[in-house]
Amino acid sequence: VPADQRYLLFGYMLRPPRHRVAFSSDGLRWNFNAETARKGLIPGGDANTYGYDPYSQRYIAMRKTGSSGLAGRRGGRGRAVGIAWSKPGDVLDWTTPVAGPVLVPDDLDPDATQFYNAPTFAYQGLFISQPWVFHARWFKEGRYTDQKMAEAEKGSPATTDVQLAWSWDLINWTRSPERKPFIALGNREQNEFDCGSIHTAVAPVVVGDELFFYYGGARGRYINPRHHAIGLAKLRLDGFCSLQAGAEEGWLISRRESLKQPVVTINARTGPQGTVIAEILDQDNKVLKGFSRHECIPFTGNSVAHILRWRTKTLASHQLDGDKKIRFILKNADLYSYIP
């Protein structure tokens, strides 16, 4: 990278509306690329977010766009999110693989649901997105005007919180059916600083055993800067979801793994009288001799990197060949992730 391009900045110019890129040698003095002033970097509204895809070594942009015209509907569901990415090694050469949106409110969402944007980051082999869910209705007919939008929003909460979505390819996305907030709004009755809207940074910061999610919070809508402040939400590593069992024992069998040593690193937490144990299985789900639940040393406690072991220290020579499976057995416990 040239010395004068050590730092990279993506920005939005209002007049004329353009997405632009700037470079800097020190992070203090910036030079905007002239070409992006003429034609813009990519299409999109005024709330794009930019990130990096380390798997393909390219930059990505989640584009604020609209859902009008989807499935023949006029008006659509209002604001939605599209995708664009750069050519690897060239931050000025971008592709929009899908002309329309890739993240749109669906039939499981209330009518008063729009996506203002969805900051996205790479994590553990996939992509995790944080849709900014704007809880407001959108007008159904005719062209946009401020008055028409204000009328459609009447009776809506007009608040913004954050949910989660995930994808393997940045185009096809999955969301949990409950549609619960990932970062919930603050308490309105107590007038907390983030009771009206939350907008997250693109990616969390790893600090020790936690993920730090920094966000901007406001008591009202984002348009009033006097009520803004920076908030911090914390999550354990890999804590987005877990396999959970209560007082009744539960179990699961992993996919096939290349396991050469009888050790498994787990991220888990147990409750009162809770345990996590495991068995090593062959490809037919039969327990390998010496590696049943009874030979496993139970885990109790709370750890993001506990090494689960068996009293049998090594695999026998005839057990080395072929993939293995792991049967995890939980009681009053959460299993967040594992590494064979």
Is residue 101 within 8 A of residue 78, CB to CB? The reply is: no
Domains in the chain, number: 3
| Pair 121, 172 in one domain | yes
**CATH number of the domain that residue 319 is part of:** 2.60.290
Among the candidates 236, 271, 286, a domain finishes at 236
pLDDT band, residue 223 (cuts 50/70/90)? low
| pLDDT given at position 149 | 85
pLDDT digit string, tens, across residues 51-109: 999 999 999 999 999 876 444 344 567 889 999 999 998 999 999 999 889 999 999 99
| Pair 187, 232 in one domain | yes
Residues 6+ apart with CB under 8 A from 285: 253, 325, 327
| pLDDT given at position 227 | 75
How far, CA to CA in Å, does 215 sit from each of 61, 233, 234?
A: 18, 8, 11
| Pair 151, 101 in one domain | yes
One-letter amino acid identity for 249? E
| Pair 301, 211 in one domain | no
| Pair 77, 37 in one domain | no
CA-based nearest residue to 221, from 253, 247, 199: 199
One-letter amino acid identity for 338? Y
pLDDT digit string, tens, across residues 168-208: 999 999 999 999 999 999 999 999 999 999 999 999 999 99
How far is it, in rounded angstroms, from Cα 272 to Cα 299? 12
| pLDDT given at position 72 | 38
Beta bridge partners, 278, equal: 328
| pLDDT given at position 161 | 96
Domain that holds residue 20: 1-41
| Pair 262, 208 in one domain | no
Instruction: Read off φ and ψ for residue 228, nearest 5 degrees.
Output: -100, 150
pLDDT band, residue 14 (cuts 50/70/90)? confident
| Pair 159, 298 in one domain | no
Is residue 244 within 8 A of residue 221, CB to CB? The reply is: no
- How confident is the model over 255-261, as a mean pLDDT? 94
What pTM was estimated for this model as a whole?
0.92
- What does the DSSP 8-state code read for residue 105? -
- Token duo for residue 174: 């999955």
| Pair 97, 178 in one domain | yes
253 has a pLDDT exceeding 50: yes
The fraction of the chain above a pLDDT of 70, given in percent, is: 96
- Token duo for residue 97: 């693989």
Find where tokens 């139970």 sit. Answer: 298
Looking at per-residue confidence, does 305 or 225 come out higher? 305
The fraction of the chain above a pLDDT of 90, given in percent, is: 81
- Give CA torsion, residues 259, 260, 263, 265, to 10 deg: -50
Out of 80-84, 127-131, 142-146, least confident range: 142-146
Out of 1-15, 159-173, 228-242, 260-274, least confident range: 1-15
How far is it, in rounded angstroms, from Cα 326 to Cα 340? 9
One-letter amino acid identity for 335? L
How far, CA to CA in Å, does 137 sit from each of 111, 118, 129, 184?
A: 6, 18, 22, 20
Q: Which H or E run includes 338? A: strand 325-339
How far is it, in rounded angstroms, from Cα 284 to Cα 306? 27
| Pair 21, 115 in one domain | no
| Pair 24, 149 in one domain | no
| Pair 214, 303 in one domain | no
pLDDT digit string, tens, across residues 20-49: 999 999 999 999 999 998 889 998 888 899
**CATH number of the domain that residue 219 is part of:** 2.115.10.20
224 has a pLDDT exceeding 70: no
- On average, the pLDDT of the chain sits at 93
Looking at per-residue confidence, does 219 or 127 come out higher? 127
| pLDDT given at position 73 | 45
| Pair 177, 261 in one domain | no
pLDDT digit string, tens, across residues 318-335: 999 999 999 999 999 999
